[in-house]
Structure 1
Amino acid sequence: MIHFDCTGPEDGEVLLLSSGLGGSGGYWSANLAALARHYRVVTYDQRGTGRSPAALEPPYAIADMADDAAWVLDALGARACRFIGHALGGLVGLALAARAPGLVSHLVVVNGWMQPDPHTVRCFDVRRDLLLKAGIGPYLRAQPLFLYPSSWMAANATRLATDEAHAAAHFPGVQNTLLRIAALLGFDAAPLLPALACRTLLVVSQDDLLVPPVCSERLHAALLPGSRMARLDGGHACNVTDAAAFAALCLEFLAA
């Protein structure tokens, strides 16, 4: 079972939101109000995270995560959806849209990639080393460095402390986290792209420490003419740090 929540009009068109490595539907809390005025917004905790507990086992891949997203849509009785995915969640959206043309009409990929960049691999290697050699506490304390600009972190120190405590209380486990990192690093979208039939928007952060803008640029070039690209500032989690600009971009695109 995958835990999911619905916000917005019950008869509205479904907008499925898929989170990044953390996997929690709560990641989208800054965006729900704006998006739910127009859509039936569905957030979910990915398998092995949050309120969808499971002991993940290898082999585990983005394709398995796409299976879970499809399960959520089936549980809702939704035959089509719009989809926004952040980082790993964007990869899930690519896999889901390629597998079932017509299921995803509009896809927004936020700071995603076609294949992982060497810089991104280095960042995740550091994060894995922190988790394995220093423990969960240092791993979680380092996490904001990869997500947010320094100015935003300085202005939101209390929130970061609260988020860290929550993440520690609901940590999905070392094995689950390592398998999820391996899945995103092992993903290659290139074979899937010819099957994509949906409108696609790539949102790229100019100041993303974790995923360089060139990753979205390569994906955009491979998808042309079927994609648009829009640039924001605000770090890897730009939908959190600049929620208003992010919502405006997405709503304009999703209504097309």
Structure 2
Amino acid sequence: MPVLMHEVLGPANGPTVLLSSGLGGAAAFWRPQLDALLGAGWRVITYDQRGTGRSGGILPEPYRIAHMAQDVLELLDATHTPSCHLVGHALGGLVGLQLALDAPARVASLGLVNAWSQPNPHSARCFEARLALLAAGGARAYCEAQPIFLYPAAWCAEHPERVESEVEHAIAHFPGETTMRQRIAALRAFDCDAALPGVDLPVWISATQDDALVPWTCSRHLAANLPQAQLHTLPHGGHAHSVTQAETFNASLLAFLAQQPHPPQA
């Protein structure tokens, strides 16, 4: 299969941060982080996940997080990146955990943003509701509901034009019902909880206590069971606090990355 559509930004031989998005899969999710990372001298890789955005493509069946981790491994090879610091939001965090288990030498550290290690009943209920919207109302109904799960209500009310623009963009670039169902099935099937003690590398965990989609206690559980984890929590910011609380998020991420030794680059 072809390598995913991606960008490599920053110094050619600098230490690398690879950014892996959540369910939407688009590289553009990380725009609020790019200036901060590049300004600090990091080489940054962003990419559109298979089946989404510019990457597109038909997904294998059954589709699993392991397929997504293999895509990242191939992306690292294609960009001549022996090792990276992988930061993943939600589903992207699951990809990071899977890659750390499958190819630990390729992951210098992990950033897990509102991620989890095993299914929980609240998130399952949210995904059932989203799938029901998709079945009954198609892409528009699904995308109209998306900000409710991503952002705090007050933030949405304060940024109506941005929210509307994001909704319309999501509708225009919707990957199709089959692909979306496969991606949701993959994240719902993910369970690496028993393997967490074996992920013995530095991990920065970031969560918000008002996340409407993923209980912040999932992040607390990760921090308690990963050998080298540090937990960064905010009271507000929603599921996408890398967007709504970008300045605070970036400062914490950069502080974590500054603590890490730089793996050799090709």
TM-score class, shorter: over 0.9
In 2: Cα distance, 1:12 partner to 1:120 partner: 38
Q: Which runs of 5+ in 2 are unaligned?
A: 260-266
1:29 paired residue number = 31
1:161 paired residue number = 164
In 2: Cα distance, 1:117 partner to 1:101 partner: 26
Summarize deviations over 1:150-185 as a string: whole Å, max 9, x none: 111011110111111111111111000000000000
C-alpha root-mean-square deviation of aligned residues, in Å? 1.0
Q: Runs of 4+ in structure 1 displaced over 4 angstroms? A: none
Match runs of 1:84-99 below 5 Å: 84-99=87-102
1:184 paired residue number = 187
Query: Displacement, 1:230?
Result: 0.6
Query: Displacement, 1:218?
Result: 1.3
Query: Displacement, 1:235?
Result: 0.3
1:171 paired residue number = 174
2:17 to 5, 15, 18: 15
Local SS of the residue matching 2:109: strand
Match runs of 1:1-256 below 5 Å: 1=2, 2-37=4-39, 38-223=41-226, 225-232=227-234, 233-256=236-259
Residue type of the alignment partner of 1:12: G
Aligned length: 255
Residue type of the alignment partner of 2:121: P
Summarize deviations over 1:61-111 as a string: whole Å, max 9, x none: 000000011111111111110010000000000000111122111100000
Q: Which runs of 5+ in 1 are unaligned?
A: none
Residue type of the alignment partner of 2:8: C
In 2: Cα distance, 1:39 partner to 1:99 partner: 25
TM-score when scaled to structure 2?
A: 0.93
8 Å contact kept, 1:31–1:243: yes
In 1: Cα distance, 2:60 partner to 2:13 partner: 37
TM-score when scaled to structure 1?
A: 0.97
Summarize deviations over 1:104-148 as a string: whole Å, max 9, x none: 111000000111210000000000000011211011000000000
Residue type of the alignment partner of 1:186: A
Local SS of the residue matching 2:193: coil
